[in-house]
Structure 1
Amino acid sequence: MTVPHEAAPEDTGASRTPVSAARPAGLRGWAGRAVLGLLRASLLVSPRPTVLLVRRQFARGVVERTTRLDAQAPAGVAAVLDERYGPGADEVLDVFHPDDATGPLPTVVWTHGGAFVGGTKDELRGWFRLLASHGVTVVAPRYTRAPEARYPTPVRQVTAALRHVQEHAARFHVEPSRLVLAGDSAGAQISAQVATLTTVPSYARTLGVAPTVHPAQLRGVLLCCGVFDLARLDPRSPLRDVLRACGWAYSGDRRFLDDEAFLSSMSVGRHVTAAFPSTFVTVGNADPLRGQSVALAATLEGHGVDVETLFFPDAHTPALPHEYQFEPGSADADAALDRLVRFVRRCTA
């Protein structure tokens, strides 16, 4: 999804959080300062007002890019939309595959981002069609966002979606033995958690979430522009109020930064082992979360995990913001898609 971007300190820990959420469009002068003052005051009692503002900004920011992605979606891709994978209102998923598929295909299960409080799979349908046109099945689950649901509800819902697609593998052209978990921003964190609980039984017990696939079924993990360690939130960030609201909404704890048990369980780098699947990590050079991806890739490599990265020099032009890989027509986004597809083919061969 597209949101306005400004320079921000690295490792703010936010997931696709628009800077404009801290300065709502159209609010100027005294009126704007008054509204921001009210939002800050609301954080003394509830994260909800700020979270609702963040959602509204996401919805405004993605319209143009969603339209462009849909326009670039290729023909020849079949879709099953809003297939129910559980009883909850948000427990639906989309499936995309080449419409001439005659058997099972390598399957990418992609979890969308949105700071744990916003975003939706629907915005990325054009891009999912593009990915599926390269000969894979793409599964995109919806999950319940905070504050309507708290951590680790989305993790549990993604594991439920994995169970469902295996039960309907033939209908969806899913190959259960060739699964790749993927996600962007907050979705990258959720997918990394699912991969970790699948490969580390003690971590699954800590979360209270049972895996629904065997480690051998997970051939790879794709992580784009993720947030992987909330303990590295920068208290000097201009987004500090937004970050506090999103973290509070997701954790259910106003003082979540003091909750070591929560921070530890969210920080997948503290729990990964050599059993973690082959992994592809990418992030833009101007993404304020860049350090999170670099650090996780280094941690995985330190455990001997097969890691591919697509990072960019500091001076790369144009500067690549958060979620750069979803910008249609961009040479760097096209290069990222090519690398993603080649990684999937390699690790599912």
Structure 2
Amino acid sequence: MRGRIALAGLAIAALAAGVVLATTSPPSLLSGYDWAWGGDRGATKVAKAVPFGSHAQTLDIWRPEGTSASVRLPVVIFWYGGGWVKGDRAAYAFAGRALANAGFLVVIPDYRKVPAVRFPAFLQDGAEAVRWTRDNAARYGGDPDRIALVGHSAGAYEAIMLALDGKWLREARVDPAIVKAAIGLSGPYDFYPFDTKRSIDAMSRWPRPLETQPITYARADAPPLLLVTSNGDETVRHRNADRLAAKLRKLGAPVELKNYGPIDHEEVVMALSTPFRDKAPVLADSVAFLKRNLGQVSQ
């Protein structure tokens, strides 16, 4: 709730400054606020609206400022949230800048949304984004042998599902072993039976509902996972991360679970941005996890 209030405050501040808000989303406002706070320093968008996949999807690419395509940066693919019904890559510039500033090549892809599509179309789009990244990261200074998946909310579902269920990557002609690590920020992983409009709309038409659940695919040989949650999250309850982490641990899989206490669903992703970074060490903990599993820049 506090995250929604903070984002509403950004909108009010922008309105007071004379900004036209009719088509501006809260994440877009946050990206603007982040830029105003100096969040752009050290990162640059090196490609915008790059086409990929089979359905006119596009993606943006961020890189640490001053690096060239001759380096080999570890790569992060970041998927935004929005309940499978909304969101766009440009609005999450604050996430791209944050991770690029930390030394990663960052790919932020769009994906198709409900009601135009249902499960598993957004996973298929995600798999196509991984394939594109594998094939093209080196052109932008990324190392295709060091790819991690990261997402928030519905984007965390995307990242963790692709990391655990290799079916979607294999169908996209990608070896699932390409995923070296994954981070889920406030994601839904164990939410059947479906009891919200968004989960019903996105998932309920699939004839075998348990196949929509990331926890179904927990396995001992999963890539290292970091699951981030918070007690204050009333949108995606922390039990999702708790249950998935417990099952992975029982299987002996490498998993880390971090609960940031009272902060809410929106505040977890807001904490990636410069002005809200003091809410919780989401960025610092994520970067440390990624560097442990992907390594540093290589020449």
TM-score, structure 2 normalization: 0.81
Distance change in 2, residues 1:121/1:129 (3 Å): same
Task: Return the match for 2:183 from 222, 239, 255.
Answer: 222
Question: Which of the residues 76, 83, 101 maps onto 1:108?
Answer: 76
Please give the per-residue CA displacement for 1:194-247, whole angstroms capped at 9, x wherever unaligned.
11222xxxxx2xx696154324322101100001123155x5xxxxxxx22x23
Hey, what does 2:32 align to over in structure 1? 67
Shift, 1:59, TM fit: 5.8
Question: How big is the shift at 1:134?
Answer: 1.0
Contact 1:69–1:127 (CA under 8 A) maintained in structure 2: no
2:61 is aligned with 1:95 = yes
Q: In 2, distance between residues paired with 1:58 and 1:303?
A: 46
Label 1:150 to 1:209 Cα distance change in 2 as closer, same or farther (>3 A).
farther
Q: For 1:83, which of 41, 50, 53 is the aligned residue? A: 50
Aligned-pair distance for 1:161?
Answer: 1.2
Determine if contact 2:218/2:244 at 8 Å carries over to the other structure: no
The one of 253, 261, 286 equivalent to 2:232 is 286
- Does the CA-based 8 Å contact 2:119-2:212 persist in structure 1? no
Residues 171 and 333 of structure 1, relative CA distance in 2, 3 Å threshold: farther
**What is the alpha-carbon distance in structure 2 between the residues aligned to residue 114 and residue 182 of structure 1?**
15
Which of these residues, 119, 127, 131, is aligned with residue 159 of structure 1? 127
Matched, 1:303 2:251: yes
Separation (CA, whole Å) in 2 of partners of 1:214 and 1:87: 19
For the Cα contact (< 8 Å) 1:96–1:138, is it kept in 2?
A: yes
Deviations 1:253-286 (A, max 9, x none): 3xx7xx5x1x211111112211110011111220
CA distance in 1, matches of 2:117, 2:3: 24
Distance 1:187 1:106, change over 3 A: same
Distance (Å, rounded) in 2 between the aligned partners of 1:248 and 1:211: 26
C-alpha distance in structure 2 between counterparts of 1:57 and 1:280, whole Å:
36
- Kept in 2, the 8 Å contact 1:326–1:333? The answer is no
| Structure 2: unaligned runs, 5 residues or longer | 9-20
**Percent identity among equivalent residues?**
23
Residue 250 of structure 1 pairs with residue 202 of structure 2: yes
Matched, 1:267 2:213: yes
Please report how far the alpha carbon of residue 295 of structure 1 lies from its aligned counterpart in structure 2 after TM superposition: 1.3
What is the root-mean-square deviation in Å for CA atoms of aligned residues?
2.7
One-letter amino acid matched to 2:257 = T
Counterpart residue number, 1:50: none
- Relative to structure 1, the CA distance from residue 150 to residue 61 in structure 2 (aligned partners, 3 Å threshold; closer, same or farther) is same
CA distance change for structure 1 residues 121 and 63 in 2, over 3 Å: closer, same or farther? closer
Q: Alignment partner of 2:92: what SS?
A: helix
Code of the residue aligned with 1:97 in structure 2: it is R
Partner of 2:17: none
Of the three residues 130, 141, 145, the one matched with 2:98 is 130
Alignment match, 2:12? none
Which structure has the larger Rg? 1
- What's 2:11 paired with? none
Confirm or deny: 8 A CA contact 2:111 2:122 kept in the other structure. Answer: yes
After TM superposition, give the deviation of residue 57 of structure 1 in Å: 11
Instruction: Evaluate the alpha carbon distance shift between residue 215 and residue 333 of structure 1 in structure 2; reply closer, same or farther with a 3 A threshold.
Output: farther
Q: CA deviation at 1:182?
A: 1.0
Residue 188 of structure 1: how far off its partner (Å): 0.8
- Deviation string, structure 1 residues 312-332 (Cα, Å, up to 9, x no partner): 34xxxxx30103233243355
Do the aligned residues in 2 keep the contact of 1:283 with 1:323 (CA within 8 Å)? no
**Which whole-Å CA distance do the structure 2 matches of 1:251 and 1:138 have between them?**
28
Match of 1:35 in 2: none
AA at the equivalent of 2:41: A
Offset at 1:311? 0.8
Determine which of 114, 122, 145 is the counterpart of 1:177.
145
1:106 Cα deviation from its structure 2 partner = 0.7
Aligned to 2:263: 320
Q: CA deviation at 1:4?
A: 2.9
| Inter-partner Cα distance in structure 1 for 2:192 and 2:129 | 29
Q: Is the 8 A contact 2:152 2:269 kept in 1?
A: no
* Distance in 1 (alpha carbons) for counterparts of 2:31 and 2:172: 33
